[in-house]
Chain A
Amino acid sequence: MDIIIESLPRLLSGSLITIQITALSVLIGFCMAIPLAVLRVSPKKILSLPVYAFTFYFRGTPLLVQIFLIYYGSGQFMEILHAAGLWSLFQSAWFCAVLALTLNTAAYSTEIFRGGIQGVPAGEIEAARACGMSGIRLYRRIIIPRAIRIAWPAYTNEVIFLLQASSLVSIITVMDITGVAREIAARSFAFYEIYIFAAVLYIIIVYGVLWAFRRIEHRLNAYLRVGSA
């Protein structure tokens, strides 16, 4: 037990890194996924196919490969990246971790929101058209808000998956919960104590996020409840 109390501050700072990396990736991934989902349902093949190729690749390969491709793979293009002034970015494990997680969650979220867009009742779109809305205004006012509500439970699952998947960044030396736990375990040989404690930390964060997302869902669907003020 002493080892856990002793390393508590470091594990807590690891938790902050885990939350920071996940939140950042979720936020950027969400902002990418909504427009990509709109392109994905486009009847024009030239718009939908590239997005499909992107989601197919990132959903069909393990996240670990994607992280390695970006972090180690970028080394093969050192000269080009150097010339473009991007090399220092790709040398940072933290940057590569966030980039990989962002692209990964953007791909999964795109498909989730595509399902949401396709689930918007046809009557609502017809009503909006009858009111004279079209194009961007139709998407902004009617389709996207409705699609987000429909897709929210599935999106919650994706966020939970990403939170857990963020543990992989420890493999490229980012000091998140798993990274800190691995380092302490390797030095102290207190393997099961530390890893069990890391697992407990993850469970707390996972169920905390789950609770927060249920609250958001409750708020999003507030207009559906009658007289429960």
Chain B
Amino acid sequence: MFDLDGYGPLLMQGAKLTIYVGVCAMVIAIGLGLIGVLCKFSRSATVRFLINTYTTVVRGVPELVLILLVYYGVPTLIQDLSAALGHPVYVSLDPFISGTATIGFIYGAFSTEVFRGAYLAVPAGQLEAARACGMSGALTFRRITLPQMMRHALPGLGNVWMVLIKATALISVIQLPELMRSADIAARNTRKPFTFFFAASLIYLAITIISNILQQWAEKRAARGVRRA
């Protein structure tokens, strides 16, 4: 059934790479988000300025422009700089690494905002109680803030994931053979563009549906400790 003129397996391989890219980018985004939220509440005004610049700029620029900027711009920037310093080096970036890093970097800004809301949702009394029990700042963050923050952050992170997995389609522009690129190759070779792009869209739809189910399960699980009226 899923043969598609023999290009079914290619599409499935592409889908696997799409999920792999998505998961890697999401890990980067969550990591950056956690660092970002600590910076947002930092005592240093410089750190707060830097993190606000990061979230403002990244949320104002299209993903495609950033992907092109990183993939084509960064190597040429390094080459120009090294040439100016008298030690010219040749650099080229791997589409997987630069694509994943760019998507992770972009959605790190979005998850910073998600974590910021979640951080504010943790009652201040609990932090005071933790301090009264003698916990240090880092210990309070790890034991009290982080676990509760995660519960509040889950719906927002779920949304970030949904947007992120669709944004990975843009990496096809820099020739990474993920789902979109595989569909493109198949469409060109068979001259059946509608069939293959529609098949690809159904695979994305399936990923969305499965993610939705997982998200509901995770939110339920994270709310185990919450008393219901």
Contacts and interface: CB of A to CB of B under 8 A. Distances in A.
A181 B65 contact: yes
Given A60-B209, A64-B169, A195 B193 contact: no
Given A62-B167, A178-B64, A206-B60, A192 B76 contact: yes
B208 A60 contact: yes
B9 interface: no
A165 B170 CA distance: 11
A61 B166 contact: yes
Interface in B182-212: 183-184, 187, 191-195, 197-198, 200-201, 204-205, 208-209
A164 B68 contact: no
B91 to A, nearest CB: 12
Interface string A168-182: 101100000110011
Contacts of A56: 205
Q: B interface, how many residues as a size bin?
A: 35 or more
B74 interface: yes
Query: Interface of chain B, helix or strand or loop or mixed?
Result: helix
A75 interface: yes
A68 B193 contact: yes
B63 A164 contact: yes
B190 to A, nearest CB: 10
B76 A167 contact: no
Contacts, number: 121
28 contacts: A60-B208, A60-B209, A61-B205, A62-B169, A64-B169, A68-B193, A72-B187, A72-B193, A72-B194, A73-B194, A75-B194, A76-B191, A76-B193, A164-B61, A167-B62, A167-B64, A178-B62, A178-B68, A181-B65, A182-B68, A185-B68, A185-B72, A195-B73, A196-B73, A203-B57, A203-B60, A206-B60, A206-B61
A199 interface: yes
Interface string A9-47: 000000000000000000000000000000000000000
8 closest Cβ pairs, A-B complex: A192-B73, A73-B194, A167-B62, A62-B169, A72-B193, A195-B69, A164-B62, A203-B60
Contacts of B180: 62, 64-65, 68
B173 interface: yes
Interface string A184-218: 01000111100110110011001100000000000
Interface residues of A, number: 41
A202 B65 contact: yes
A196 B209 contact: no
B62 A76 contact: no
A203 B61 contact: yes
Interface string A49-64: 0000000110011111
Given A195-B68, A202-B61, A203-B57, A61 B193 contact: no
Contacts of B200: 65
Contacts of A57: 201, 205
Contacts of B208: 60-61
Interface of A: 56-57, 60-66, 68-69, 72-77, 164-168, 170-171, 177-178, 181-182, 185, 189-192, 195-196, 198-199, 202-203, 206-207
B198 A64 contact: no
Contacts of A182: 68
Contacts of B209: 60
B68 A69 contact: no
Query: Interface of chain A, helix or strand or loop or mixed?
Result: helix
Given A60-B209, A62-B166, A198 B73 contact: no
B65 A195 contact: yes
B74 A192 contact: yes
Given A61-B166, A191-B72, A68 B197 contact: yes
Contacts of A189: 76
A111 B160 CA distance: 17
Nearest to A74: B194
A56 B167 CA distance: 17
Contacts of A171: 64, 173
B65 A178 contact: yes
Contacts of A164: 61-63
